[in-house]
A and B are shown apart, each in its own frame.
Chain A
Amino acid sequence: MNNTKLDKKSIEMRKQIVSMMACAGRGHPASAFSLVEILRVLYDDILKYNPKKPKWDKRDRFILSKGHGCLALYVVLAEKGFFPKKELEKFCAFDGLLGGHPEILTPGIEASTGSLGHGLSIGLGMAINAKFEKSNHKVFVVLGDGETDEGSVWEAALCAGKHKLDNLIVILDYNKVQSYGLVSYVQNLEPIADKWKSFGFEVREVDGHNLNELKKVFSQIPFTKGKPSMIICHTVKGKGVSFMEGNAKWHHVKPKPEELKKIYKALEV
């Protein structure tokens, strides 16, 4: 298990995720917790964007293909000013902006995801367009590990290699747990790095909760000219809350108020 210590901000972001779940009465907390540091580094240090002009044409495109991790993304987008923070309190509400999976109607969301295995192909189209327009912006796509069971992911991987899309960066949130249980039990992905290499990607592996490691690896893209990049982020499902870590039970939950309090408390330890 990954022992990287979370700083104050990472804990604070997780607390916001817990508050959002209190409003909806449901969510995918563990899938969001594994993503927090990846998104934090991307939006703090790497991506080019303008929250006041979310469709600015030179922006980097970011697609959360594992749409069920959206709680973490919403917290980041609100903090950056894409929409008012009070929207977070209306997560999954009838008249809310933010649903249980990301939708393009929300400022800052580039593609509606939720059904797994869609985001990489959409990102691929965007990356081909960027090359055609001779624009320097990049396309980032985050995949879940369970998501890569989908054949469409590998269709897109074949195609990305063929088009030599070095402006396409795929990030694997490799938290090793999917809905039923361990990825290694449900559908083993190993040797995962070799698979992506053989599809034409330049692959790096990092600790997906270590801010410095993430910053360093993102600052090196593209790793090789003419090749798409794959960053395998070794993460922990439910990272930050001891009883959630690596526990498939917390993939999607409808927690009782006292359970939410327990998570909150555990985050403060």
Chain B
Amino acid sequence: MRKTALNEVFELAKKHKKVFFIGSDLGAGTLNDFREQIPERFLLEGIYEQNIIGMAAGLALEGKVVYINSIATFLTRRCFDQNILDLGLHNVNVRIIANGGGLVYAPLGPTHEAIEDIAIMKTIPNMTVIAPADAQEMKKLIPLTLEYKGPIYIRMGKGYDPIVTDKETPFVIGKAYPMRKGSDALILTTGITLRLALEAADELAKYGIKTSVIHVPTIKPLDKKTILKHAEKIHIIVTVEEHIKIGGFGSAISELLCEANFAKPKKFKMIGIPDEFPENYGSQDLLMEHYGISTKGLVKAVKDLKGK
């Protein structure tokens, strides 16, 4: 996903002189072609995220579209004041491409695990927050960011995540995508947990539970219309995210559902990381399983709500 995102930025930069790239002490060799071919718009900078966000805002105030790449935790937490004021308040065209959203860096521990990035970035007025499910979706997304108004936070998965989106469906920022249709339960997901939701829907079918799946890559602004249209007809609703439950994707959905005041009450559950720092290492998959962010966890959640 990361390789695809950065290559697409390079492709955009080749065609459009307003595209700038800022990397914060990236891995050796990253985007070498970009650096060699367009050095004047390839800024390889130090480990100073506050400064990078500010200089990106300065470039964007001059009409440039600036893509920044580094690790998610550092580009969200470390420079939060700059994200709010330099990007949000100025409403500039800066795109943060954040490596390792969620538990990707499980072996490296809590300093590197971006488990609250969605929550904090979506509190910023004017900020769009997107978590694509796979590289295929990322490839469709990046070209659309060129003319999109305002700052965007793009959360990336581990890389080489299985392709689960539909190749033919065009991508639109701000749109939710129904991926499976079923009238018994609805699973709402964002980012790479789409794979788990689809597997869970297949598994639940074996128990006779017909499950809808809606993939919501754009967490902010939320495609309220699509989500409510489907949620209205379905009694059991489960959200899943690779993120803490406080203020994240599930929380956004629950706010939406509560305010919809449906005539008939719903059964609802959020799957995500509880209010704690992960204490284990291992791998992304192991930590996700630990928190029930898994096919098994989803199947269990739906069955429990169904009373089966």
Contacts and interface: CB of A to CB of B under 8 A. Distances in A.
B61 A126 contact: yes
Contacts of B5: none
Contacts of B52: 121
B86 A122 contact: yes
The SS class assigned to the A binding surface is helix
B85 A125 contact: no
Interface stretch (B39-47, B189-197, B290-298): B39-47
Interface centre among A121, A129, A130 (most CB of B within 10 A): A121
Given A122-B57, A125-B61, A126-B61, A132 B86 contact: no
Contacts of A151: 50
A121 B54 contact: yes
Contacts of B55: 121-122, 124-125, 128, 156, 159
A245 to B, nearest CB: 32
A241 B188 CA distance: 64
A69 interface: no
A158 interface: yes
B82 A121 contact: yes
A140 to B, nearest CB: 13
B50 A159 contact: no
A144 interface: no
A159 B86 contact: no
Interface string A104-130: 100000111001011011111111111
Contacts of A158: 46, 48, 51
A35 B43 CA distance: 34
Contacts of A127: 58
Contacts of A122: 54-55, 57-58, 61, 86
A10 interface: no
A152 interface: yes
Contacts of A45: none
Nearest to B53: A121
A104 B86 CA distance: 11
A12 interface: no
B82 A110 contact: no
Interface string B56-92: 1111111010000000000000000110011001100
A125 B58 contact: yes
A268 interface: no
B75 to A, nearest CB: 14
Contacts of A110: 61
28 contacts: A104-B61, A104-B90, A110-B61, A111-B90, A118-B86, A120-B54, A121-B51, A121-B55, A122-B54, A122-B58, A122-B61, A124-B55, A124-B58, A126-B62, A127-B58, A128-B43, A128-B58, A130-B62, A132-B40, A152-B48, A152-B50, A152-B54, A152-B82, A155-B51, A156-B48, A156-B51, A156-B54, A159-B51
Given A124-B54, A125-B57, A155-B51, 13 more contacts: A103-B89, A111-B58, A112-B85, A118-B81, A121-B55, A122-B86, A125-B54, A125-B62, A129-B59, A133-B62, A155-B46, A158-B48, A159-B45
Interface of B: 40-41, 43, 45-46, 48, 50-62, 64, 81-82, 85-86, 89-90
Interface of A: 103-104, 110-112, 115, 117-118, 120-130, 132-133, 151-152, 155-156, 158-159, 162
